[in-house]
Structure 1
């Protein structure tokens, strides 16, 4: 039996939007991850004071916070795809999607606020 794509796979416009946003956030993650590698190499062997000093610089800390937010967003979209593929019951699907969104938002907010706290308050 062939599955009906409209009933089984959801809204095609949302799927296209998710596909595009996943690729866009993935490309931006590559750019920002190169920045992260630079920071890690720069801080290799340094103490906590040097790490806080470097992340306290707005030219380093703010892009690092942006990276954290984009990674959390990318994680949410990727996990949504996994949930849509492997969770078949509608009620469970909605619950896991909501929990996924909450988790990604919580991780993103904690990370970004922590980094911005270092940037603006040391």
Structure 2
């Protein structure tokens, strides 16, 4: 890697590949990993839900109680909620400029994602343990 004499980055930051925020690369990778994981999980989720079409409540509940379906639903929920949290955090970081509002928005984002995630996990576990 050639050294750019006009760069304001220190030698340590060039070695660690960290920008001024120190965490943007990690969040970017987490966003890409969750997006990649959500692709096959979404296909599995749609297949599971499509297989429930036309079934009554008892049959649907019995099918969702199988370990493969329950695990697919849980992984889809966890990856989706984490991806949602990271995406909204990026939007807040980019577009909310007041430090006070940014902090409260990030806190609200965290609690909203936790609430949605816990409610979905609870529902999936309740269905899987018939």
**Of 15, 29, 40, which residue of structure 2 is paired with 1:31?**
40
Unpaired runs of 5+ residues, structure 2, are: 1-18
Please identify which structure carries the higher helix content.
1
Inter-partner Cα distance in structure 2 for 1:30 and 1:11: 31
Does 1:44 pair with 2:44? Answer: no
Does 1:17 pair with 2:26? Answer: yes
User: What is the aligned length?
Assistant: 112
Unpaired runs of 5+ residues, structure 1, are: 1-9
SS in 2 for 1:13: coil
Does 1:104 pair with 2:109? Answer: no
Q: Give how far 1:11 is off.
A: 4.8
Q: RMSD value over aligned CA atoms?
A: 1.4
Q: Give how far 1:65 is off.
A: 1.2
Higher RCO (CA-CA < 8 Å; seq separation 6+): 1
**Which residue is equivalent to 1:74?**
83
Q: Give how far 1:47 is off.
A: 1.8
Max radius of gyration: which structure?
Answer: 2
